[in-house]
């Protein structure tokens, strides 16, 4: 009788990492569909290219590092990074943008640091930020949502899209579909009263509570995020803290619509990458704080940084910067937010020396 | 319930169960319960095993000491091994039959460890010793009840197997307010306590009352049960009516049954890290333990059987079995009709905290509450571990509010400092973190091995510190002894020189005047000498006093020796109790030694006295005439003796070191060591003899000094007489010395022959004493030779 010798526990729960990753991908589907609805086929092309690049790069690096390729590819983490990168990049961006993004995300930010679990920075955000700094033009060329396209504009069809992506498109075509995002529009506003601004810009005029198209994209990501919360893929701490602090800052600097007012909380919540960031980026467990208290601080700080950059910085959106900045701070937060262990009167900092005699 | 509240670790009020406030614990998991399959039939008695294997270590604490021999016939319930000290338990025969072996046998242990077991072949009769019933046990004192529980061998039956009596007797100063009876049984599969509560509630409640009485009726006595046992709850509720005992029911969640967690649920208090529950006024006992205590007290039943859940899909019968301790698990599996082909592993305990066994040829022990025989499908081997994605699920599941993923991180990098600062040692190894980990990381395994490594390091460090200390002490002691020796030697040399000078002067003076006083009466000389002896009658007494002092110092040394023994035992505090008995033995032997020493000294005294009275004169004369020679000779003897003392002491110290090492390794070695110590004591006595000789010399020296002034007195008839007497006496003295030497040689030969006998015996037995004994023989031979040499010289 050959008995298995294994240490306890001998039974285990239903969750596994692969399933978690799959769930995350599943939860992006509403967002992807909404993006496609408003911005056309470009998002899909982004996703396909990003997935292909990310998996190829992951596989080759694993090969170079002499790790079992199949085993690690199966954990779906590279695919999650690809999806997040894919939805973050502007549709119809050139293929090499996606390639460079994937290279930095998987090759540098993830594998160079030792692979899954060891990366201090969120890979997708590293890829995104590198691109944003290096290729600002390509990276800010977002299409206008289909609902506000003027008569002369139309979203590219499949052939046009492919030719845009692979670089045989004429520049004329570009003007045929791009437009300012709500955050862009708000940022570029100089002197108009909010009401006037809203009236003058289609992107606000056609909107229900934030910016046309974008508000629904954010709603879709919010739904996906709530699904993940329901599935207990992560805890509520970081996303809620981020949204709360972002909303709080917006509330402070929102004066009801003068020409110096900041954007309203609703505009901040439902524009740009807010919901994507809150539920899919900052919840990346690897690069965030570990304890729940730590995650509250982590999320809260990200919300503040997002607001600061959006309001006073040079970039219209700031989720990627905020996340990377707080990735830096995560270990530091961890140091000071250890939970109080059973039988100890107070929580303690990880740096404290411990009196080993107390346990005997 | 939000995870944040849980994480904060603050107990929260979750329900008010009738009259009781309940609290929640952070974390926890809900593994599939799998309890129903073993609850379909009542408790079944397993058939009498053909053979039982009873380990001497079924509990926490010192292993029991066997009191039977191979070949003895024993009855069911008969004591076969005694508890060794306070934290230990006795073992009783669980069947009647013949002891066929007392040997190493694999234990039910994760590592497949072997240890000493008493193996009884059943005679099939199950003839029991008479059990002492105590219908009036309520009138007994707490202490005698505790003794009964201890003597019945009852260990905590839910978990680790801590002796029940020890737990029921909290340290002085801890006033117990809560007696918590653990009927939680939060592990999946196990239903032993559940079914016990369903079927034997009366005895359990009587047991709880008994425990409460022993603890001085704490104001809160509560039985805690998870809400997945409705029948047990109903029965217990019914049974505790009209008693002050409460039954508290709380939601099922693993690990609510952990001692610390249960305390938190029922009282809202936390046991401070590193302390016992009694420090916050709580005692926790398992329902099965309460039951066993009652059976032991009321019916005199020793702990020889228990209820074990035998479950798993590889079995045709899944049920609770009342089984004799020591029954091989293979018997139990056969009884439940195991399908060996389907059996994929064998787990003792529950699936969360139990351990996989290496074979079924290990016995049921006092703590065996469950045996799981799953199929591969039921408990598939765990998939390979993936990378930790720091998802934090483990931290959410941890009932101790630890950060398992950080612990895992530090355990992998062996960062022991960080591990400790992250409270690794507050991990109760419940397995909740591994259970939820999506990457299948065997977290608990990492923690266990890290704990082991840290403990090992600490032990090694302590050991190193101790031996360094010992080394330093020894160096110091040797240096001190050297210095003293040197000082003494110098003093002696000085004295000898002076004496020589004075003697030479005296001799010269005496020679000058010898002719002039030739006709002086020798009778006068003798009377003179006698008179002088009479004036010196105090001298023998003085000598006696000195010898007595020697005895005292010898006793002191003996005490020190025994103290050293005790000390060496204290280095292994967990085995203290065991050694206590041996120390006592050693003490007895030491007293013996003392007596012998006294005898020896009395005889010496006697001989000195007799020689003192019979030949005082002679001695006196001899002293005066031969003092120089004698002193030099004795000096030589003493020097060599002292050298040998030094050497022996050094050897002793070294031997001690060795011994301590052995102590830490083995108990058995203790006896051998004691024997060695005995031999050493014998050697020590030899040294004492030498000391006595030294003392003699010391008494002689003053005598010499006393004698010195005499030659300096004006030369008269008396001094001439003295000189003559000296001459005469010197002849006699030489005679008496010869006699003395002869006597000494006689004694030595006798001792030598005895020692040789002993040595021969030791060689025959192949005992460890050989070396020490042969050393002793060698020494005696040398002494004998010296003595013979002296005799020849004389
Ligand atoms: S549950 Fe497993 S994967 Fe998740 S943080 Fe803990 S150890 Fe890492
Ligand atoms: S095994 Fe230790 S670290 Fe894991 S959940 Fe239990 S107490 Fe926490």
**Per-residue pLDDT tens digits for A169-217:** 565 566 667 777 777 777 776 666 666 777 677 777 777 777 778 889 9
Are A181 and A169 a contacting pair, CB within 8 Å?
no
User: What's B285's domain CATH number?
Assistant: 3.40.50.11540
Are A45 and A91 a contacting pair, CB within 8 Å?
yes
Q: What is the pLDDT of residue A26?
A: 93
Give me the residues of chain B with pLDDT under 70, please: 1-19, 172, 510-738, 740, 764-769, 794
Is B400 close to ligand 2, i.e. is its CB under 6 Å away? yes
CA distances from B480 to B470, B490, B687 (A): 15, 15, 19
CA distances from B682 to B568, B585, B590, B678, B713 (A): 20, 16, 10, 6, 48
Cα gap B437→B39, rounded to integer Å: 30
Query: How buried is B399 (Cβ within 10 angstroms: 0-12 exposed, 13-18 middle, 19+ buried)?
Result: buried
pLDDT over 90 at A128, yes or no: yes
Is B390 close to ligand 1, i.e. is its CB under 6 Å away? yes
Both B556 and B691 in a single domain?
yes
HSE of B560 in the Cβ direction (CA atoms, 13 Å)?
Answer: 10
Are B388 and B439 a contacting pair, CB within 8 Å?
yes
Binding residue ranges of B for [4Fe-4S] cluster? 388, 391, 394, 398, 427, 430, 433, 437
Q: What is the pLDDT of residue B666?
A: 47
Both B740 and B657 in a single domain?
no
Q: Note whether residue B499 is domain-resident.
A: yes
Q: Interface pTM (ipTM) of the complex?
A: 0.78
Q: Do A10 and B379 touch (CB under 8 A)?
A: yes
Q: How many domains does chain B have?
A: 4
CA distances from B62 to A97, B52, B576 (A): 71, 21, 9
Residue at a domain's end among B238, B270, B300: B300
- Other C-beta atoms closer than 10 Å to the C-beta of A150 total 10
Is B656 close to ligand 2, i.e. is its CB under 6 Å away? no
For residue B383, what is the DSSP state?
Answer: P
pLDDT over 80 at A30, yes or no: yes
Q: Which is nearest to B379 in space by CA: B351, B354, B357?
A: B351
For the range B22-25, what are the long-range contacts, defined as Cβ-Cβ under 8 Å and sequence gap of 24 or more?
B22/B248, B22/B250, B22/B265, B22/B266, B23/B264, B23/B265, B23/B266, B23/B267, B23/B268, B24/B265, B25/B253, B25/B256, B25/B261, B25/B264, B25/B265, B25/B399
CA distance B176 to chain A (A): 19
Closest residue by CA, ligand 1 atom 7? B405
Are B288 and B192 a contacting pair, CB within 8 Å?
yes
Q: Note whether residue B543 is domain-resident.
A: no
Measured in residues, chain A has a length of 360
Both B513 and B557 in a single domain?
no
Q: Note whether residue B88 is domain-resident.
A: no
Q: Note whether residue B496 is domain-resident.
A: yes
Cα gap A197→A267, rounded to integer Å: 13
Tell which A residues from 276 to 335 touch B, by Cβ distance under 8 Å.
285-286, 288, 290-293, 295-296, 334
Report the predicted TM-score, pTM, of the whole model to 2 decimal places. 0.66
Are B371 and B310 a contacting pair, CB within 8 Å?
yes
Model confidence at A246, in pLDDT bands (50, 70, 90)? very high
Q: What is the pLDDT of residue B709?
A: 43
Measured in residues, chain B has a length of 794
- Collect all residues of chain B within an 8 Å Cβ-Cβ radius of residue A352: 421
**Per-residue pLDDT tens digits for A51-74:** 999 999 999 998 888 888 777 777
Percent of chain A whose pLDDT exceeds 70 = 86
What value, to the nearest 5°, has the Cα angle with vertex B606 and ends B604 and B607? 65
Is B430 close to ligand 2, i.e. is its CB under 6 Å away? yes
Both B514 and B627 in a single domain?
no
Pocket-testing residue among B405, B432, B447, ligand 1, by greatest number of atoms within 8 A of Cβ: B405
Query: How buried is A22 (Cβ within 10 angstroms: 0-12 exposed, 13-18 middle, 19+ buried)?
Result: middle
Are B312 and B373 a contacting pair, CB within 8 Å?
yes
CA distances from A228 to A223, A292, A319, B181, B377 (A): 9, 17, 20, 41, 30
Cα gap A10→B774, rounded to integer Å: 59
Residue at a domain's end among B648, B680, B699: B699
Residue at a domain's end among B300, B324, B339: B300
Both B409 and B510 in a single domain?
yes
From the list A10, A339, A360, the residue facing B274 with the nearest CB is A360
Q: Note whether residue B615 is domain-resident.
A: no
Q: What is the pLDDT of residue B463?
A: 87
Pick from B438, B453, B574 the residue to mutate for testing the A interface (most A CBs within 10 Å): B438
Check if A14 contacts B (Cβ < 8 Å): no
The answer for residues whose C-beta is within 8 angstroms of residue B353's C-beta and 6 or more apart is A8, A9, B187, B429, B430, B431
Q: What is the DSSP string of B246-257?
A: EEEEE---BTTT
Binding residue ranges of B? 388, 391, 394, 398, 427, 430, 433, 437
Q: Domain segments of chain A: what residues?
A: 16-178, 186-336
Q: What is the pLDDT of residue A217?
A: 92
Terminal Cα-to-Cα distance of chain A (whole angstroms): 41
Q: Which ligand is nearest to the CA of B408?
A: 1
* Residue in B with minimal Cα distance to A357: B274
Q: Note whether residue B113 is domain-resident.
A: no
CA distance A232 to chain B (A): 9
CA distance B454 to chain A (A): 11
For residue B88, what is the DSSP state?
Answer: B
Terminal Cα-to-Cα distance of chain B (whole angstroms): 103
The answer for residues whose C-beta is within 8 angstroms of residue B390's C-beta and 6 or more apart is A117, A285, A286, A288, A290, B405
Both B689 and B571 in a single domain?
yes
Q: Note whether residue B148 is domain-resident.
A: yes
Q: What is the pLDDT of residue B581?
A: 52
Could you identify the atom of ligand 2 that is nearest to the CA of residue B434? 4
**Where in the sequence is the domain holding B769, given as residue range(s)?**
735-794
The answer for residues whose C-beta is within 8 angstroms of residue B778's C-beta and 6 or more apart is none
Cα gap B33→B254, rounded to integer Å: 10
- Collect all residues of chain A within an 8 Å Cβ-Cβ radius of residue B357: 3
For residue B307, what is the DSSP state?
Answer: E
Q: Note whether residue B642 is domain-resident.
A: yes
Q: Lowest-confidence range among A123-127, A340-344, B46-50, B81-85? A: A340-344
Both B505 and B632 in a single domain?
no
Q: Which range scores top for mean pLDDT: A269-278, A339-348, B631-640? A: A269-278
- Other C-beta atoms closer than 10 Å to the C-beta of B756 total 16
CA distances from A235 to A13, A17, A289, B40 (A): 18, 16, 12, 40
- Collect all residues of chain A within an 8 Å Cβ-Cβ radius of residue B271: 343
Pocket-testing residue among B395, B440, B441, B442, ligand 1, by greatest number of atoms within 8 A of Cβ: B441
Q: Residue B290, Cα to own-chain centre: how many angstroms?
A: 29
Query: How buried is B173 (Cβ within 10 angstroms: 0-12 exposed, 13-18 middle, 19+ buried)?
Result: exposed
Strand-pair category, B305-311 with B319-324? antiparallel
CA distance A11 to chain B (A): 6
């Amino acid at each position: 009788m050959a008995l298995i010798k294994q240490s306890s526990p001998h039974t285990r729960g239903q969750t596994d990492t692969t399933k978690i990753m799959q769930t995350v991908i599943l939860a992006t589907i509403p967002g992807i569909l909404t993006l496609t609805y408003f911005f056309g086929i470009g998002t899909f092309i982004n996703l396909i290219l990003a997935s292909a690049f990310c998996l190829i790069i992951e596989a080759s690096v694993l090969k170079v590092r002499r790790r079992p390729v199949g085993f690690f590819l199966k954990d779906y983490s590279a695919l999650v990074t690809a999806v997040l990168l894919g939805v973050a990049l502007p549709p119809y961006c050139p293929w090499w943008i996606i390639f460079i993004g994937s290279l930095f995300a998987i090759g540098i930010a993830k594998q160079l640091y030792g692979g899954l679990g060891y990366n201090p920075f969120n890979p997708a955000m590293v890829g995104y930020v590198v691109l944003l700094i290096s290729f600002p033009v390509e990276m800010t060329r977002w299409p206008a949502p289909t609902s506000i396209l003027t008569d002369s504009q139309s979203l590219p069809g499949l052939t046009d899209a492919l030719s845009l992506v692979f670089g045989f498109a004429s520049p004329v075509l570009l003007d045929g579909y791009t437009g300012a995002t709500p955050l862009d529009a708000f940022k570029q506003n100089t002197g108009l009263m909010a009401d006037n601004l809203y009236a003058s810009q289609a992107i606000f005029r056609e909107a229900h509570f934030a910016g046309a198209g974008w508000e629904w994209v954010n709603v879709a990501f919010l739904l996906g995020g709530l699904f993940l919360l329901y599935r207990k893929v992560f805890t509520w701490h970081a996303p809620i803290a981020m949204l709360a602090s972002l909303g709080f800052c917006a509330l402070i600097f929102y004066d009801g619509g003068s020409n110096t007012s900041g954007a309203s909380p609703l505009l901040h919540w439902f524009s740009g990458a807010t919901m994507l960031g809150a539920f899919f980026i900052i919840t990346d467990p690897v690069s965030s704080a570990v304890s729940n208290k730590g995650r509250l601080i982590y999320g809260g700080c990200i919300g503040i940084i997002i607001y600061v950059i959006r309001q006073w910085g040079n970039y219209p959106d700031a989720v990627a910067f905020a996340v990377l900045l707080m990735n830096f701070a995560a270990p530091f937060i961890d140091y000071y937010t250890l939970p109080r262990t059973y039988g100890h009167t107070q929580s303690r900092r990880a740096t404290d020396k411990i009196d080993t005699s107390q346990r005997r | 319930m939000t995870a944040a509240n849980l994480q904060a670790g603050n107990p929260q009020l979750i329900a008010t169960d009738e009259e009781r406030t309940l609290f929640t614990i952070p974390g926890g998991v809900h593994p599939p319960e799998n309890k129903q399959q073993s609850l379909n039939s009542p408790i079944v008695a397993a058939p009498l095993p053909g053979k039982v294997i009873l380990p001497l270590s079924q509990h926490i604490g010192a292993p029991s000491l066997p009191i039977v021999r191979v070949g003895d016939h024993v009855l069911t319930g008969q004591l076969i091994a005694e508890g060794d000290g306070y934290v230990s338990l006795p073992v009783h025969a669980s069947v009647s039959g013949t002891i066929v072996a007392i040997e190493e046998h694999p234990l039910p242990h994760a590592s497949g460890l072997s240890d000493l077991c008493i193996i009884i072949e059943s005679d099939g009769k199950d003839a029991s010793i008479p059990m002492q019933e105590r219908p009036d046990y309520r009138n007994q004192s707490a202490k005698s009840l505790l003794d009964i529980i201890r003597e019945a061998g009852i260990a905590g039956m839910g978990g680790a197997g801590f002796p029940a009596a020890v737990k029921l007797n909290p340290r002085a100063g801890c006033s117990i307010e809560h007696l918590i009876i653990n009927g939680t049984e939060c592990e999946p599969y196990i239903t032993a306590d559940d079914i016990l509560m369903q079927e034997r509630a009366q005895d359990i409640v009587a047991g709880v009352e008994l425990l409460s009485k022993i603890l001085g009726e704490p104001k809160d006595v509560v039985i805690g049960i998870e809400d997945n046992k409705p029948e047990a709850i109903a029965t217990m509720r019914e049974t505790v009516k009209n008693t002050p005992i409460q039954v508290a029911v709380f939601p099922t969640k693993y690990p609510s049954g952990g001692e610390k967690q249960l305390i938190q649920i029922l009282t809202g208090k936390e046991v401070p890290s590193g302390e016992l529950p009694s420090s916050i006024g709580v005692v926790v006992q398992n329902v099965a333990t309460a039951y066993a205590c009652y059976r032991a007290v009321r019916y005199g039943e020793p702990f020889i059987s228990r209820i074990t859940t035998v479950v798993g899909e590889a079995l045709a019968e899944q049920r609770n079995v009342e089984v004799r301790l020591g029954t091989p698990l293979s018997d139990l599996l056969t009884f439940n009709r195991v399908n060996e082909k389907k059996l994929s592993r064998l787990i003792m305990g529950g699936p969360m905290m139990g351990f996989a066994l290496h074979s079924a040829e290990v016995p049921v022990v006092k703590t065996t509450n469950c045996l799981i025989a799953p199929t591969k499908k039921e408990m598939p081997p765990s998939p390979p571990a993936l990378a930790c994605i720091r998802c934090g699920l483990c931290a959410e599941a941890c009932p101790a509010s630890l950060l398992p993923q950080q612990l895992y991180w530090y355990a992998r990098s062996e960062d022991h400092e960080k591990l400790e600062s992250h409270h690794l040692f507050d991990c109760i190894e419940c397995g909740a973190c591994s259970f939820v980990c999506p990457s299948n990381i065997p977290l608990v395994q990492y923690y266990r091995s890290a704990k082991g490594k840290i403990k090992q390091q600490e032990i090694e460090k302590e050991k190193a510190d101790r031996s360094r200390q010992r080394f330093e002490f020894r160096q110091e002691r040797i240096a001190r002894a050297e210095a003293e020796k040197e000082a003494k030697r110098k003093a002696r040399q000085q004295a000898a020189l002076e004496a020589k000078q004075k003697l030479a002067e005296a001799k010269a003076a005496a020679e000058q005047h010898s002719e002039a006083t030739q006709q002086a009466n020798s009778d006068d000389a003798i009377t003179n000498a006698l008179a002088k002896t009479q004036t010196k009658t105090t001298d023998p007494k003085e000598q006696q006093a000195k010898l007595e002092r020697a005895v005292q110092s010898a006793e002191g040394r003996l005490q020190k020796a025994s103290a050293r023994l005790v000390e060496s035992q204290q280095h292994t505090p967990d085995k203290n109790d065991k050694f206590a008995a041996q120390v006592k033995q050693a003490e007895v032997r030491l007293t013996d030694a003392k007596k012998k020493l006294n005898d020896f000294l009395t005889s010496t005294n006697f001989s000195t006295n007799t020689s003192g009275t019979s030949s005082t004169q002679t001695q006196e004369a001899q002293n005066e005439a031969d003092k120089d020679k004698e002193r030099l000779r004795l000096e030589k003897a003493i020097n060599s003796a002292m050298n040998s003392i030094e050497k022996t002491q050094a050897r002793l110290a070294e031997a001690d070191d060795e011994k301590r090492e052995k102590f830490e390794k083995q108990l058995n070695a203790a006896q051998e060591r004691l024997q060695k110590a005995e031999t050493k004591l014998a050697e020590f006595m030899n040294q004492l003899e030498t000391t006595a000789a030294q003392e003699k010399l010391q008494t002689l020296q003053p005598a010499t000094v006393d004698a010195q002034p005499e030659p300096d007195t004006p030369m008269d008839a008396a001094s001439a007489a003295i000189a003559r007497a000296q001459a005469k006496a010197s002849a006699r003295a030489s005679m008496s010395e010869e006699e003395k030497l002869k006597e000494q040689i006689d004694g030595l030969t006798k001792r030598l022959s005895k020692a040789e006998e002993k040595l021969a015996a030791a060689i025959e037995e192949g005992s460890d004493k050989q070396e020490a004994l042969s050393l002793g023989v060698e020494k005696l031979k040398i002494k004998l030779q010296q003595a013979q040499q002296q005799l020849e010289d004389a």
